A and B are shown apart, each in its own frame.
Chain A
Amino acid sequence: MPARVKVRLFHELRSTLGQSEIELEANTLNDVVESLISLNGSVKELFFDAHGKLRSYIMFYINNTPQNPPELTRKLNDGDLILLVPTAAGG
């Protein structure tokens, strides 16, 4: 039975998907990412490089705990709050 989780989106993810919070059913972080890609395919390029490797510039948080680096297969629980923050910084 997949967990019911809240996903809070920031910066380019929020602009591209047009919403700042989404409720999803997901077993893992990977399911969350896949669900977002299914909503708008253009965010795939934000998450993964051309070789399908997860980019390091998106910060994942589960219940206020940074996941660095994120373990995409990590099991989620009902009520988990996931923050996805693309880096919007540099010089």
Chain B
Amino acid sequence: MGINREETKWVGRSIVRKDGRGKVTGETKFFSDMALPNMLYAKVARSKYPHALIKRISTEKAKTIPGVVAVLTHKDVPALNAFGILIPDQPVLCFDKVRYLGDAVAVVAAESLEAAERAAQSIEVEYEPLPVVSDTLEAMKPDAPKIHEKGNILRHATVRVGDVDAAFREAAVVVENTYRTGRQMHMYLETEAGIAMLDEHERLVLYSGGQSPYRDQMQISRSLGIKPEEIRVISTPVGGAFGGKEENTVQIHLALLAMKTKRPVRMVWTREESGVAGMKRHPMIVTTKTGADRDGRILANQVRIVADTGAYASLGPTVLDVSIETSCGPYRIPNIDIDAYSVYTNNGVAGAFRGFGAPQVNFAIESNIDIISEKLGIDRLEIRKKNVLREGDTGAFGYKMLGSVGVYETLLKAERTDLWKNRVSHKSKASAPWCKRGIAVTTAIKGFGFGALPDFAAASIQITPAGKFVVGVSCPEIGQGAVTAYSQIAAEALHCDIADVYLASADSQLSPDTGTSSSSMALVRGGNAILAAAPKMNELLLDAAGEITGEPKENLEFSESRISSREKTGKSVRYVEIAQFLHSRGSETKVVGGFEVPRVDKPVEGTIEIPHWSYMYATAIALVEVDTLTGATKVLQIYLSPDSGTVINPQSYTGQCEGAIVQGLGFALTEETQIDNGLIKTNNFTTYIIPTIRDVPEIQIEPVETYEKIGPFGAKGLGEIGIIPVGSAVANAIYDATGTRLFTLPATPERVFQTLAGKENQDAGKSQS
């Protein structure tokens, strides 16, 4: 169960978003809106080929263009000419080879954007084109052209528990299918952008909307060879991220140019540039073989995953881990055999994207579960209830579930909905004779945080002379409502009004290292770090109040921005008075608290970060209508019941879930970056179709509030879980509507039409029973 809301004043309530007004009115200025006096404009000269050797680079012509102030190549990178969060294998500026069209060969700063663009176009590069590697299965062959010296396999991982072969022999039904998913783009409203400058002490200052100022600081420090504290990074506000701004984009280039020119420099990627050079979701080919006994109990799951990580590693190795970890769903499965590959190609770069490898494999396991339920004649929701994990169970990878597990309860809630109870009636209401309706229910699991990898967060709290609190947290607000949630937690812990809490947010000079806004973990990292700092601040306030009132500390208690005696002496002192007392004496007014996310000592053999200490869960129901004449699928209703622990802010919670669902509908129905022989053909909103308001269905969110003991006030993460079951729910609902199963997402009208016509799926799967 969640918290008792009668005992909290701020936590658990729909507090209006602190950043809401500015963002909805347009008053908030993002860094792509920002201009500074004497500012230069920067542009990247990118590769003209998806795969080629560089024979010669000439910048002479570019330098002669009027207004050009600096033209930098690899020779101007003072230290490590590479970046990448996990494995720095992507050149800051290429020197010997290019591996995708987004690769940067030179970077230019000029007095005007036009001059910068002309100069970038005037960089002369002599290339020797190489064969383009665009198919992962071809890339894995020993004789495939090598994208990196070490070959095209970035990572190969295997995990085996039990004996799948024996289990398949015992199974009453075994199904095996191959599923494919698309290359989804983040399509944030604000493209990758920033401004770098030197302050009055010649120290580098970078303003760039990202997901962690300290990680950007690390990558800049590593490439420029300067101390991290000589680089100030401010990462907020951010005009959307969804994982795509975890990796370095504009940061190092801007830092190089500002150091070189000693002037402010701005770079804003165009939409097309974002499409070519920005991160993508890993397309995957997932072959899943699942066996169950006559009662529908899953006995074994064998999975082969091939992920297209594109030209560079970025977060590909850990994305693969999450795919492995979630490929067996939230189910108790005694025998598993997983064989997973992350493969280099010349298809852009894939990295972090909300769900982080989970939506792809969820499509596979949840489709197989539906096929099994049909073969066994067991209700689709019932078969999931039989198999889902319960508190204290051992998970598929052989470890005990340590966190709260509410997935069964999410299924119970789904079962009681009108949508599910009256599904036959809902299905019968198609809008035309050639339209068919279907309903499906699917479940999902994902860990929050970095699992077995180090995950540490710090926060600071300072009391101002006016008795207000400045809370330093470096996890940026990326639209998830973190600033408001942190304020709620701080106000609760500090016994003050939420209006008295100010966030010093995502600034490496003002906020300590709280980690990243990623992996659905910003709330837990920042919230717990605040809760670690708050008792120190309260102690400091109590000591001062004791001195001011003359009352022993143990007689004092907190109440609404004041500390009073319990003894009815009438002695009471307001925070503002305490603050003035502390400041006038030059006493300490700032505290720092730290939180280390619990983790296992050693990950599951063959993995990097499995298991996580705790997991989020969700059950989704989708009602769709398929136009059998055109193949167009309309999602009419989505129900989502997440177990994300305590709900800190119901309004933000709903917003996060709705956003995740709509992004999931894009993954399910329309979003697929078309790449032909390394050339991206869909890099703007005209050709790359994301859901609009017209596509948003009726959405119902119904949380299951378990109490997660490692989360602030029992909260877990939330940001990603809502997207994960959407694709599988939509695909299974299309099957429920039409009797034809899709093995590839997105379910574009063309693909659905072809599938209904029997022109796809010829060899998609096999089953035995």
B207 at the interface (CB under 8 A from A): no
Contact in complex: B218, A85 (CB < 8 Å): yes
A49 at the interface (CB under 8 A from B): yes
Given known contacts A46-B454, A88-B515, A88-B516, A8 and B228 CB-to-CB distance under 8 angstroms: yes
Contact in complex: A61, B222 (CB < 8 Å): yes
Closest to B218 in A: A10
Contact in complex: B228, A64 (CB < 8 Å): no
A14 at the interface (CB under 8 A from B): yes
Contact in complex: B602, A49 (CB < 8 Å): yes
Q: Contact check: which of B79, B225, B246, B602 meets A89 at CB < 8 Å?
A: B246
Q: Bits for B340-352, please: 1 = Cβ < 8 Å to A, else 0.
A: 0000000000001
Contact in complex: A91, B519 (CB < 8 Å): yes
Contact in complex: B86, A91 (CB < 8 Å): no
Tell me which residues across on chain B come within 8 A of A50, comparing CB atoms.
601-602
Which of A8, A11, A88 has the most CB atoms of chain B within a 10 A radius of its CB? A88
Contact in complex: B228, A89 (CB < 8 Å): no
Q: Bits for A8-31, please: 1 = Cβ < 8 Å to B, else 0.
A: 101110111000110000000000
Tell me which residues across on chain B come within 8 A of A61, comparing CB atoms.
80, 222
Q: Bits for A37-69, please: 1 = Cβ < 8 Å to B, else 0.
A: 000000000100110000011000100101010
| Selected interface stretch from B61-69, B170-178, B292-300, B318-326 | B318-326
User: From residue B113, how far is it (CB to closest CB) to chain A in Å?
Assistant: 33
A83 at the interface (CB under 8 A from B): yes
Q: Which residues 59-81 of A have a CB within 8 angstroms of B? A: 61, 64, 66, 68, 81
Distance between Cα atoms of A62 and B133 in the complex (Å): 33
Contact in complex: A11, B454 (CB < 8 Å): yes
Q: Contact check: which of B212, B513, B519 meets A90 at CB < 8 Å?
A: B519
Which of B222, B515, B519, B608 has the most CB atoms of chain A within a 10 A radius of its CB? B222
Distance between Cα atoms of A90 and B455 in the complex (Å): 9
Size of the A side of the interface (Cβ < 8 Å), in residues, is 27
A35 at the interface (CB under 8 A from B): no
Q: Bits for B483-504, please: 1 = Cβ < 8 Å to A, else 0.
A: 0000000000000000000000
Q: Bits for B174-202, please: 1 = Cβ < 8 Å to A, else 0.
A: 00000000000000000000000000000
Distance between Cα atoms of A12 and B321 in the complex (Å): 22
B159 at the interface (CB under 8 A from A): no
B356 at the interface (CB under 8 A from A): yes
Contact in complex: A89, B453 (CB < 8 Å): yes
Contact in complex: A64, B79 (CB < 8 Å): yes
Contact in complex: B454, A87 (CB < 8 Å): yes
Q: Contact check: which of A14, A49, A56, A89 meets B85 at CB < 8 Å?
A: A89
Q: Bits for B437-469, please: 1 = Cβ < 8 Å to A, else 0.
A: 000000000010111011110100000000000
B214 at the interface (CB under 8 A from A): yes
Closest to A89 in B: B85
Which of A10, A56, A61, A86 has the most CB atoms of chain B within a 10 A radius of its CB? A10
Distance between Cα atoms of A12 and B212 in the complex (Å): 14
Closest to A87 in B: B453
User: From residue B77, how far is it (CB to closest CB) to chain A in Å?
Assistant: 10
Distance between Cα atoms of A88 and B246 in the complex (Å): 11
Q: Contact check: which of B229, B447, B451, B594 meets A20 at CB < 8 Å?
A: B229
B509 at the interface (CB under 8 A from A): no
Contact in complex: B451, A64 (CB < 8 Å): no
Contact in complex: A88, B227 (CB < 8 Å): no
Closest to A86 in B: B454
Tell me which residues across on chain B come within 8 A of A49, comparing CB atoms.
601-602
Q: Bits for B503-533, please: 1 = Cβ < 8 Å to A, else 0.
A: 0000000001101101100000000000000
Closest to A21 in B: B227
Given known contacts A10-B218, A57-B454, A61-B80, A91 and B319 CB-to-CB distance under 8 angstroms: yes
Q: Contact check: which of A14, A20, A89 meets B315 at CB < 8 Å?
A: A89
Closest to A50 in B: B601
User: From residue A82, how far is it (CB to closest CB) to chain B in Å?
Assistant: 12
Contact in complex: B225, A64 (CB < 8 Å): yes
Tell me which residues across on chain A come within 8 A of B321, comparing CB atoms.
90-91
Distance between Cα atoms of A85 and B453 in the complex (Å): 13
Tell me which residues across on chain A come within 8 A of B451, comparing CB atoms.
90
Distance between Cα atoms of A64 and B227 in the complex (Å): 13
Tell me which residues across on chain B come within 8 A of A91, comparing CB atoms.
315, 318-319, 321-322, 352, 356-357, 447, 450, 518-519, 609
Distance between Cα atoms of A37 and B86 in the complex (Å): 24
Tell me which residues across on chain A come within 8 A of B450, comparing CB atoms.
87-91
Given known contacts A21-B227, A91-B357, A91-B450, A15 and B319 CB-to-CB distance under 8 angstroms: no
B404 at the interface (CB under 8 A from A): no
Q: Contact check: which of B322, B513, B516 meets A15 at CB < 8 Å?
A: B513
B221 at the interface (CB under 8 A from A): yes
Distance between Cα atoms of A67 and B221 in the complex (Å): 17
Given known contacts A11-B513, A12-B454, A66-B88, A88 and B215 CB-to-CB distance under 8 angstroms: yes
Distance between Cα atoms of A8 and B543 in the complex (Å): 38
Q: Bits for B612-627, please: 1 = Cβ < 8 Å to A, else 0.
A: 0000000000000000
User: From residue A55, how far is it (CB to closest CB) to chain B in Å?
Assistant: 9
Contact in complex: A90, B221 (CB < 8 Å): no
User: From residue B90, how far is it (CB to closest CB) to chain A in Å?
Assistant: 13
Tell me which residues across on chain B come within 8 A of A88, comparing CB atoms.
85, 212, 214-215, 218, 450, 454-455, 515-516
Tell me which residues across on chain A come within 8 A of B315, comparing CB atoms.
89-91
Closest to B222 in A: A83
User: From residue A14, how far is it (CB to closest CB) to chain B in Å?
Assistant: 7
Distance between Cα atoms of A87 and B246 in the complex (Å): 13
User: From residue A46, how far is it (CB to closest CB) to chain B in Å?
Assistant: 6
Distance between Cα atoms of A20 and B226 in the complex (Å): 11
Contact in complex: A57, B608 (CB < 8 Å): yes
Distance between Cα atoms of A46 and B221 in the complex (Å): 22
Q: Which residues 67-112 of B have a CB within 8 angstroms of A? A: 79-80, 85-88
Closest to B81 in A: A64
Distance between Cα atoms of A75 and B236 in the complex (Å): 42
Tell me which residues across on chain B come within 8 A of A12, comparing CB atoms.
454, 456
User: From residue A88, how far is it (CB to closest CB) to chain B in Å?
Assistant: 6
Q: Which residues 583-621 of B have a CB within 8 angstroms of A? A: 594, 601-602, 608-609
Q: Contact check: which of A10, A11, A15 meets B594 at CB < 8 Å?
A: A15
Contact in complex: A10, B228 (CB < 8 Å): yes
Q: Which residues 238-291 of B have a CB within 8 angstroms of A? A: 246
Distance between Cα atoms of A91 and B221 in the complex (Å): 24
User: From residue B233, how far is it (CB to closest CB) to chain A in Å?
Assistant: 13
Which of A8, A12, A61, A90 has the most CB atoms of chain B within a 10 A radius of its CB? A90
Distance between Cα atoms of A4 and B735 in the complex (Å): 68
Which of A15, A57, A61 has the most CB atoms of chain B within a 10 A radius of its CB? A15
Tell me which residues across on chain B come within 8 A of A10, comparing CB atoms.
214, 218, 221, 228
**7 further contact pairs, Cβ within 8 A, besides A11-B456, A66-B80, A87-B450:** A12-B454, A15-B458, A15-B594, A61-B80, A87-B85, A88-B450, A89-B450
The 6 closest A-B pairs by CB, nearest first: A90-B450, A91-B356, A12-B456, A64-B80, A89-B85, A90-B318
In the assembled complex, 10 residue pairs joining A and B whose CB atoms fall closer than 8 Å, in A order, are A49-B602, A56-B608, A57-B608, A81-B225, A88-B215, A88-B515, A89-B450, A90-B455, A90-B519, A90-B609
